Structure 1
Amino acid sequence: MTDSAPAPAPAPETASKPELPDRLSVDPRSRHHVAAVFEHPIGIRLNGKERFDVEEYCISEGWVRVPAGKTLDRKGQPLMIQLKGRVEAFYR
């Protein structure tokens, strides 16, 4: 005689996504890096157009930092340029 109890149903995901900060950076060395946010896919729109190369953004000041081509600084990090406009951050 075997007791086969039904497997418990998986618990629904109760952990909600953290609120997106006003300023966020991809670089873990930055003080604006929030690791919990990067557990979910994030999208950034600049002036209504979605950008996929954003390294850092600030919604209140209205700018994003993106790499300037393949140019590197003297420490080997990509050289960043700042683009200004209307910034929107969202979860995909």
Structure 2
Amino acid sequence: MNDSTTRPDLPDHLSIDPRSAHHVAAVFEHDIGIRFNGKDRADVEEYCVSEGWIKVPAGKTLDRKGKPLMLKLKGKVEAFYR
């Protein structure tokens, strides 16, 4: 198992898109969980704890570049290692 001392601190703002300025590859070497308004979410693409929002795909809808269209949901966000 991974020791909590070897895990990097979870950033306030994190994105799974490697082209984003908020992508931290070292964090994704571990299993991350996101709790939004008290419920665990598995479909979060990006989050910001301090501003209280997450971005999730809007079903199968794609934007003009072929990427999933994102919805921004506001509420209480908690990020944690599993």
Both proteins in one fold, TM over 0.5: yes
- The structure with the largest strand share of the pair is 2
TM-score range relative to shorter protein: over 0.9
SS at match of 1:38: helix
Matched, 1:26 2:16: yes
For 1:26 and 1:61, locate their aligned partners in 2 and report how far apart those are by CA, in whole Å: 18
Residue type at the aligned position of 2:44: V
Q: Specify the structure having the higher radius of gyration (Cα).
A: 1
| Structure 1 residues not aligned, in runs of 5+ | 1-12
2:29 counterpart residue number: 39
1:73 counterpart residue number: 63
Instruction: Please report the TM-score for the alignment, with normalisation by the length of structure 1.
Output: 0.84
For 1:68 and 1:46, locate their aligned partners in 2 and report how far apart those are by CA, in whole Å: 16
| Structure 2 residues not aligned, in runs of 5+ | none
1:89 counterpart residue number: 79
Instruction: Please report the TM-score for the alignment, with normalisation by the length of structure 2.
Output: 0.94
Residue type at the aligned position of 1:73: D
Matched, 1:57 2:57: no
Residue type at the aligned position of 1:19: D
